Amino acid sequence: MPTSKNKPGKKGLKIVIKIGRYVFSSSLDSKTLSAYAGFLRTLRREGHRVVVVTGGGDEARKYISVARGVGGSEYTCDTLGIEVSRLNSRLLITSLGEDAYPAIPVSLEELRKAFESGKIIVMGGLQPGQSTNAVAALAAEAVEADLLLNTTNIDGVYTANPKEDPNAKKLDKIKTSDFLKLVIDDKLSAGGYELFDPLAIKIVERSKIPTRIIDGRKIENIERAVKGEPIGTLVES
Amino acid sequence: MPTSKNKPGKKGLKIVIKIGRYVFSSSLDSKTLSAYAGFLRTLRREGHRVVVVTGGGDEARKYISVARGVGGSEYTCDTLGIEVSRLNSRLLITSLGEDAYPAIPVSLEELRKAFESGKIIVMGGLQPGQSTNAVAALAAEAVEADLLLNTTNIDGVYTANPKEDPNAKKLDKIKTSDFLKLVIDDKLSAGGYELFDPLAIKIVERSKIPTRIIDGRKIENIERAVKGEPIGTLVES
Amino acid sequence: MPTSKNKPGKKGLKIVIKIGRYVFSSSLDSKTLSAYAGFLRTLRREGHRVVVVTGGGDEARKYISVARGVGGSEYTCDTLGIEVSRLNSRLLITSLGEDAYPAIPVSLEELRKAFESGKIIVMGGLQPGQSTNAVAALAAEAVEADLLLNTTNIDGVYTANPKEDPNAKKLDKIKTSDFLKLVIDDKLSAGGYELFDPLAIKIVERSKIPTRIIDGRKIENIERAVKGEPIGTLVES
Amino acid sequence: MPTSKNKPGKKGLKIVIKIGRYVFSSSLDSKTLSAYAGFLRTLRREGHRVVVVTGGGDEARKYISVARGVGGSEYTCDTLGIEVSRLNSRLLITSLGEDAYPAIPVSLEELRKAFESGKIIVMGGLQPGQSTNAVAALAAEAVEADLLLNTTNIDGVYTANPKEDPNAKKLDKIKTSDFLKLVIDDKLSAGGYELFDPLAIKIVERSKIPTRIIDGRKIENIERAVKGEPIGTLVES
Amino acid sequence: MPTSKNKPGKKGLKIVIKIGRYVFSSSLDSKTLSAYAGFLRTLRREGHRVVVVTGGGDEARKYISVARGVGGSEYTCDTLGIEVSRLNSRLLITSLGEDAYPAIPVSLEELRKAFESGKIIVMGGLQPGQSTNAVAALAAEAVEADLLLNTTNIDGVYTANPKEDPNAKKLDKIKTSDFLKLVIDDKLSAGGYELFDPLAIKIVERSKIPTRIIDGRKIENIERAVKGEPIGTLVES
Amino acid sequence: MPTSKNKPGKKGLKIVIKIGRYVFSSSLDSKTLSAYAGFLRTLRREGHRVVVVTGGGDEARKYISVARGVGGSEYTCDTLGIEVSRLNSRLLITSLGEDAYPAIPVSLEELRKAFESGKIIVMGGLQPGQSTNAVAALAAEAVEADLLLNTTNIDGVYTANPKEDPNAKKLDKIKTSDFLKLVIDDKLSAGGYELFDPLAIKIVERSKIPTRIIDGRKIENIERAVKGEPIGTLVES
């Protein structure tokens, strides 16, 4: 029984939001966290059902660096990254108080059960080999989300790395197939994978999940995306 | 404490073998299964430590087709595929008897614990959005395998789809970066993804896992690959 | 604090329905599945709380046959049957969409927790040595059901196997003690156990669960049984 | 790969022993427990692999009686019985010290994994609706036991209840089909079900498990049964 | 987002009640249990959210004594005590019927998830080394309770053991720091630890949980404490 | 079956070592970690069976501070501390490679099962309300350790806080009852609880676990304690 998607701007949307390093930086602070929590609570009170995926941020990098120093495999480094992303989830859950589901799902099946609660679900990584961007896309697919927001610290997808190429142009829309090529060709430098990895793109494409890549450093950008405004880059399937 | 890799042809290798549709076809039969089980037991007795990843095969396709007919999402279809792949694992475990670990790992962490037993581990899919090829690569990374064998029903990677292009040439070796482009450009048709998906390639590359794609329909091909003979296509990181 | 049973025909019944091979046949099709799902949704909307137990059907037989071919024990064959019955549960859950609880209980304790959700619960087998008929009776006992419907492909319990004995007579009612003898004496041929096994009868008897054995191939039969009409065979404790 | 059964009297048998109320009586005492533990350790040191299933005994009866007094269902009463049987398991594990596996399996799958440890496994009930006799038979099937000993407080199966019928005769052997009729006809009174329930008989029959019903109050009886002596009643499939 | 505490006497309190040996004595009876269950249901219907922690009582002592007799460690004895306390929880859950959450939390995380259900949660011990008094304090902290009631068989905290010292005086209030000294100095004899152990005091203190120690043998005492009357001894942080 | 304790200095000891903040400081570095891992591997190769409990260290403090800033309860702060202590466990497991058990026990029961593997077990915190010192004592009790080493950044227990009181004297031995008073009276300042909390002392006392508090910053101190040399402070039960 497929549920027909609701359009952004409507009430009662199912929204998945990936929150990345710009919140979980080395200068991790309570004030920033509280601001995002406040916004998420507002979304819930407006009737939206929200899943948040937190990245590992700078703390993950720190732990991974020590692990590499003692000969840790890629598997182990990813495992540490996942565990730190869950610490970040816990912080956000704390900040959300009663509006958050108290446990962190560690599989998509657990997410689906937790989502039944009507509370805001916060989760981190799931498995080595996947970025938390991919987790956000998988979560969006699992709950049949109406909107996937990948919030990051740049304002959308560019034709090239804007820090290196002065002719790089921000795109208002991008097709999943073109996005995949950009990411694979690594035209976006290391930042490319951070924007969105191939698995994330594949999931968005196959399940036709309405997806935007936006600058999350200003909360109002996220608000505007929820309202359906043409902000950041729209990923079209 | 990184363990230095052993070379194929040596005793005591850690080997991950993906077994696909050619064994788990609609004409699923005990005789074929017993033959593969016999071979795997021999590997164990020669001192190798073996993980087998079974695909969903034709039964998975059947269940997925019914699920699509009742409006099942991609998430649900993949979930069914994973569950059927585990049924196939159970059949192989049965066929292996005392040589097999009795339970099917459902996460990489469980695989690592089961691998401590010294028995043959058999597992299926792990998560929606991943082919069992990707699972085989993840499993190889998790147990720090010396050899990953992707056994399928063609004898290696071609420059194009051999069924459509008479000039298609089998490759003895392929770099992960070139392989990724072939797969993404879909030059190999739908079969491309079946050979190896982008996630699998990424994992093989980052962990430098010695990998061969071979025709598994003749068991002696798998034997030869274990002995280090240049069969099928070698994937180079 | 025993809850007094509601009578069939009332609103708000707790109903357990066993659905067997006639739905999960080798020609497994979406249309049949959708029809049953539609009916179950209607029951829920009328205020009934429903648990469905799915059998393994023809697919289970196929897997079990291969397992026997490679020397699988009875334990293993039953395990495969349970796993296939859960695949069938998953198909029905998919077809039910939002009306179904998203996870399949694998113990009676899990069933009881899931039942708190108010959604339709779908489950398969639980343990080697038990038919899914027994599971349905155990489930009915665990949720203190007002009605247990064992739907099958004959229209009730006969005094003998109707296919072999032209004098076989359909019974409108049967006492659990008489039913047990019929089953044990195997007067009903192999079909006997399929109708209801000794464990199922014992559970129905000790917990005095109102139980009917009906032909489920016509959905209206199930409807009529829920309304309290005297269809099929009533099992009296 | 079916493992051929070893005969009682041989070394290295897989043995499942059901220990009942005669050990776990209301006068539960350390000395009795230590004596049985000592014997079980000896079995292990002789090379046998042992699974012990403990009944709920008098304590279970006490808890069940209170539960009935507050309106507890059959489901709940059985659940309490299972939990008390596991308390008894814990006592035996304590008494066995290092020879016992430290955890109590709560499913047959867990039993199979624990059995890999080579230690003595002790477990109680598994599921409402089953006696611990049935659990012992299921456990014997799951580990492919060479011998199942149901130890109780009478010296075998009688043609009728020996306490009521002076002509009751002890049987040296009984076929499973005849045993089933005796149990169903309740010729053995309430004690019948305690001896062996229908599910237990069905499992013994279908998996052809060599089974003896013996008086366990003298430890040497158990010893003699392990050695293959014709003590108690042999159940033939 | 800290929730401000509600005062006793208000509606909609979160209350944790420790129920001890005076209910779960060797003469465990249905009538007493039903009376407490009736009272707890009333609390729920008045809008309070209740967690009950049951002690092991006399049955725990019995099992522990046998365990010591076979050489059981402190760890094992505590484990048995925890398991018996959960049997007692099960009895109370049975008595509460539909008002109780059907499963017994075995960790604080599970408690928090179960608490979302709005039903009465009943739990026993959690870990060796902790009394169920400490569990009650931990539970109160985990659900951010407005009131913790430690019900026992004396009417509060005394300056000395009232059975031995005729000058022992009941205290209306006691500071956590003074209470800790009384307990540590063992001035209260063996009973001291039973009243409240150091871990319980530490938790009450650090989370400023309003706590009363009262005589629970009369249900009206518990009622009065919930209404905010100055009964028993108030523990001040 | 109580196992008689082995004396320090013997081969084949069961040893539990608590490793604290001096290794997991804010300047977390691979070199220090590798040095401790090397030492632990040596212990294993000498035949000792080792459990290591890692504290949360400076990272835990960082996360807890942010949690407090967003209104996190004591429960939540402790939960974060536990999770960070497990990250530290993971780092040490990585550093130990094949000598470590790959999973982190999250309960004492899991510890006991993992301990059967013969590998080095590394674990962090277990439950809110407990320091990792208490976890180390509980772990020592659970595995019936011959030696518990609480390694810290001072060289033993003093009569008073040596930083504040020039007359503070290091003790070679301390009785558990005296130690408890020192800790409760807070004579050791905040550092007191870090040395050893009341729960840890209670466990050491009741199970008579040979315990030393030593300066772990020099690995040779730990070596000497294992050999039975009179270093640091011996805690006597």
Model pLDDT for residues D140-188, shown as the tens digit of each residue: 999 999 999 999 988 999 988 888 888 989 999 999 989 988 887 765 5
- Which tops the pLDDT comparison, A189 or E20? E20
pLDDT digit string, tens, across residues F17-53: 999 889 998 878 899 999 999 999 999 999 999 999 9
Helix axes E74-96, F132-142, angle to 10 degrees: 100
F4 in any annotated domain? no
Contact at CB, E103 and C116, closer than 8 angstroms: no
D143: in domain: yes
| pLDDT(C3) > 50 | no
Mean residue pLDDT across chain D: 90
Kind of pairing between the strands at E211-215 and E233-236:
antiparallel
Q: Tell me, what CATH number does A177's domain have?
A: 3.40.1160.10
Q: What is the pLDDT of residue B84?
A: 96
Mean pLDDT of all residues belonging to chain B: 90
**Residue A116 with chain C: CB contacts under 8 Å:** 101-102, 117, 119
Is the pLDDT at B207 greater than 60? The verdict is yes
Encoded tokens for D112:
């199979």
pLDDT digits (tens, 9 = 90+) for E46-105: 999 999 999 999 999 999 999 999 999 999 999 999 999 999 999 999 999 999 999 999
**C157-196: pLDDT as tens digits:** 998 888 788 898 999 999 998 998 888 776 554 344 566 7
Q: Which has the higher per-residue pLDDT, D137 or C5?
A: D137
Contacts of D34 in chain E (CB under 8 A): 69-70
Give me the pLDDT at residue C145, please: 97
Nearest to D207 among C70, C74, C137 (CB): C74
Query: Is residue A30, in this structure, part of any structural domain at all?
Result: yes
Confidence of residue B191 (pLDDT cuts 50, 70, 90): very low
Tell me the chain E residues in contact with residue F142 when contact means C-beta distances shorter than 8 Å: 75, 128
Residue E211 sits at φ, ψ, to 5 deg, of -135, 135
Which of E:68-107 have CB within 8 Å of D?
68-72, 76, 79-80, 83-84, 86-87, 90-91, 94-95, 97
**Ranked by mean pLDDT, which of A137-141, C56-60, C116-120 comes out on top?**
A137-141
pLDDT at residue number B27: 78
Contacting chains of F (3 CB pairs or more, <8 Å) are A, B, D, E
| Nearest Cα to Cα of residue F54 among F8, F99, F104 | F104
Mean pLDDT of chain F: 90
Q: Is residue D5 part of a domain?
A: no
Residues of E in contact with A98 (CB under 8 A): 1, 3
Pairing of the two strands B233-236 and B211-215: antiparallel
Verify whether the Cβ–Cβ distance B73 to A126 is below 8 Å.
no
pLDDT band at A186 (very low <50, low <70, confident <90, very high): low
Q: Do chains C and B touch (3 or more CB pairs under 8 A)?
A: yes
Share of chain A above pLDDT 70, in %: 92
| pLDDT confidence tier of residue D191, bands split at 50, 70 and 90 | very low
The C-alpha atoms of residue B213 and residue B231 are separated, in whole angstroms, by: 8
For residues E24 and A104, give the distance between their C-alpha atoms in angstroms, rounded to a whole number: 36
Q: Which of A189-203, B186-200, B204-218, E108-122 has the lowest mean pLDDT?
A: B186-200
Of the pLDDT bands very low, low, confident and very high (cuts 50, 70, 90), residue E8 is low
Q: Is F130 among the domain residues?
A: yes
Residues 6 or more apart whose CB falls under 8 angstroms from that of D219 comprise D35, D36, D39
Which phi and psi angles does C189 have, rounded to 5°? 60, -170
Q: What is the pLDDT of residues C71-103, one digit of tens each?
A: 999 999 999 999 999 999 999 999 999 999 999
Give the distance from residue F142's alpha carbon to the nearest chain A alpha carbon, in angstroms: 27
Beta-strand ranges (E) seen in chain B are: 14-19, 49-54, 121-123, 147-152, 173-175, 211-215, 233-236
Q: Is residue C174 part of a domain?
A: yes
Beta bridge partners of residue E123, listed in sequence order: E53
* Residue E192 confidence class, pLDDT cut points 50, 70, 90: very low
Alpha helices by DSSP H, F97-189: 108-115, 132-142, 176-184
In the prediction, which pLDDT does C198 show? 85
Per the CB < 8 Å rule, is B142 touching A2? no
What pLDDT is recorded for position D149?
98
* SS3 label, residue C189: coil
Q: Give me D228's structure tokens.
A: 């293959």
Is A157 a residue whose pLDDT tops 80? yes
Q: How far is F97 from chain E (nearest CA, A)?
A: 30
Q: Say what the pLDDT of residue F218 is.
A: 95
* Contact list, A112 vs chain C (CB under 8 Å): 102-103
Collect all residues of chain F within an 8 Å Cβ-Cβ radius of residue D37.
Answer: 1
Q: What is the ipTM of this complex?
A: 0.88
Q: Which of B30, B42, B98 to mutate to test the interface with D (most CBs of D within 10 A)?
A: B98
pLDDT at C193: 52
Residue of B nearest to C95 (CA): B70
Tokens 């999402």 — which residue?
B73
Residue in D96, D101, D117 closest to F1 by CB: D96
Residue D2 counted as domain residue: no
Residue E65, exposed/middle/buried by CB under 10 A (0-12, 13-18, 19+)? middle
Nearest CA to A76 out of F64, B3, B114 is that of B3
Q: Which residues does B169 contact at the CB level (< 8 Å), separation at least 6?
A: B158, B159
The whole-number pLDDT of residue D186 equals 64
**Banded pLDDT at F187 (limits 50, 70, 90):** low
Shortest distance between the Cα of D29 and any Cα of chain C, in A, equals 32
Instruction: Give percent of chain F above pLDDT 90.
Output: 75
Is A94 in contact with F71 (Cβ distance < 8 A)? Answer: yes
Chain A residues in contact with B141 (beta carbon < 8 A): 73-75, 128-129
Q: Which amino acid is at C10?
A: K
C contacts of A1 (beta carbons < 8 Å): 37, 95-99
D-F contacts at Cβ under 8 angstroms: 18
Domain limits for position C36:
14-236
User: pLDDT at position C231, please?
Assistant: 96
Question: Closest approach of chain C CAs to the CA of B118, in angstroms?
Answer: 22
Yes or no, beta carbons of D73 and C2 under 8 Å apart: yes
Q: Is A2 on the interface with B (CB under 8 A)?
A: yes
- Kindly give the interhelix angle for C176-184 and C198-207, rounded to the nearest 10 degrees: 170
pLDDT digits (tens, 9 = 90+) for C16-44: 999 988 899 887 889 999 999 999 999 99
Q: Answer whether D91 sits within 8 Å of E70, measured CB to CB.
A: yes
Residues A23 and A32 sit within 8 Å (Cβ to Cβ): yes
Counted domains in chain B: 1
Cβ contact B–A (≥3 pairs, < 8 Å): yes
Q: How confident is the model at residue A32 (pLDDT cuts 50, 70, 90)?
A: very high
Compare all CA atoms of chain E with the CA of F126 and give the residue at the minimum distance. Answer: E127
Q: Is the pLDDT of residue C227 over 50?
A: yes
Among D residues 105-164, those touching chain B with beta carbons less than 8 Å apart: 109, 112-113, 116
**Min Cα–Cα distance to chain C from B179, Å:** 35
- For chain B positions 26-65, those within 8 Å of chain A (CB to CB) are none
**Nearest chain D CA: its distance from E179 CA (Å):** 35
- How many angstroms separate the CA atoms of A64 and A68, rounded? 6
Q: Chain E partners of F75 at a C-beta cutoff of 8 Å?
A: 108, 138, 141-142, 144, 207
Q: How far is C141 from chain D (nearest CA, A)?
A: 6
Q: Give the dihedral sign, CA F112/F114/F117/F120.
A: negative
Residues of chain C found within 8 Å of residue D129, distances taken between Cβ atoms: 134, 137-138, 141, 199, 202-203
pLDDT tens, position by position, B155-164 = 999 988 888 8
Substitution target in A3, A49, A108, A116 with the highest count of C β-carbons within 10 Å is A116
- Say what the pLDDT of residue C21 is: 87
Cross-chain residue pair A129–B138, CB shorter than 8 Å: yes
How near does any CA of chain E get to the CA of F225, in Å? 25
Interface contact flag, E1 A98, Cβ < 8 Å: yes
pLDDT for residue C8 is more than 80: no
Residue E67 within any structural domain of the chain = yes
Q: Is the pLDDT confidence value at E110 over 60?
A: yes
The answer, yes or no, to whether residue F172 has pLDDT greater than 80, is yes
